[in-house]
Structure 1
Amino acid sequence: MTKDSLGKFKLSNANANSKLPVVGNVTEYGDIKVNGIITVSKAKYPETATHINDAINKGHPNILTIDRKGAAKRRREALSNIPAKKGFDRDEYPPAMFAEGGKNSSIRYISPSDNRGAGSCIGIQCRKFNDGDKIKIEIRE
């Protein structure tokens, strides 16, 4: 477990799979309690999956805190200096629905179908969680 320059915790690649025992509905990763795991399929959403992996490898966290109420503000912050590009969506990682998103997010132009499909996939999986819950994002083949 490492802490990035912004003080956010993330699992290093070396220990990303070192899941500790589940206690109730919480899984522990080092000293962080995670309420669940959200998966993104690399086969279904290759552009989003690649962006997530690249962003995590550059220091963005893979353990995120759900905060739906602040999503619109974080999306504006993340995209404010990134112009729209015809035929593409601006994908953000971490997504705006997470407290770690916003101003310092990684932004990448990707196809609308990939971005919106992955966003829907993540949103559906997050329905069972509350604001303040921590989730881990994993890419699956």
Structure 2
Amino acid sequence: MVVIITLSWNIWRLGHEQKPNVVPVTKVTQVSAEAGKEIIRLVFPSDKYPETAQHIKEAIAAGKSPACTIDREGAEHNRELSLKDVPTRKGKAPDEWPMAMCAEGGVGADIKYISPKDSRGAESWVSDQLYVFKDGTRIEFVVK
């Protein structure tokens, strides 16, 4: 009985819960070649994950797009491609931009070594923010 009530509550909550830092869908121009397509703006918390935030800013400044298309099924393959020739470093984690969960990730991704704690925390935070969105959704990362 408790399991059924808990399950029902969680299902109801999914449909009625607002996720923090997710701005409602808006049309954004000149974010991608797909002008006029709706895009979700996600404000990334640089105060919580400063190394990841700095890497995103640097990669965007170097010409990488601030937007990406969610492609969870392609994440593992993209990670293999982007990290293929990247050596491991003790006490560091290779951070990718665009992220592996983005269709634009993989070959050519910008890689920077950061602390594993920052990397894991940022990955978890992004997953929590985007779980309600389907693959194919365009996301613009705004780093404050």
TM range (shorter): 0.7 to 0.9
CA distance 1:112–1:94, change in 2 (3 Å):
same
For residue 77 of structure 2, the aligned residue among 64, 73, 78 is 73
Structure-1 residue corresponding to 2:26: 27
What's the CA shift for 1:33? Answer: 2.3
CA RMSD of aligned residues (A): 1.5
Matched, 1:96 2:100: yes
Which structure has the larger Rg? 2
| Partner Cα distance (1:135, 1:68) in 2 | 13
What's the CA shift for 1:36? Answer: 1.5
Q: TM-score, normalised by structure 2?
A: 0.77
Matched, 1:39 2:39: no
Matched, 1:106 2:105: no
| Partner Cα distance (2:25, 2:44) in 1 | 20
For residue 129 of structure 1, the aligned residue among 104, 129, 133 is 133
Aligned residue identity for 1:56: I
| Partner Cα distance (1:32, 1:116) in 2 | 33
What's the CA shift for 1:26? Answer: 3.6
Could you tell me the percent identity over the aligned residues?
A: 43
- Structure with the bigger percentage of strand: 1
Aligned residues: 117
Structure-2 residue corresponding to 1:8: none
What's the CA shift for 1:41? Answer: 1.1
CA contact (8 A) 2:25 2:41 kept: no
Aligned residue identity for 2:116: P
Q: Which runs of 4+ in 1 moved over 6 A?
A: none
| Partner Cα distance (2:100, 2:125) in 1 | 15
What's the CA shift for 1:85? Answer: 0.5
CA contact (8 A) 1:34 1:136 kept: no
Matched, 1:49 2:53: yes
- Structure with the bigger percentage of helix: 2
Aligned residue identity for 1:70: G
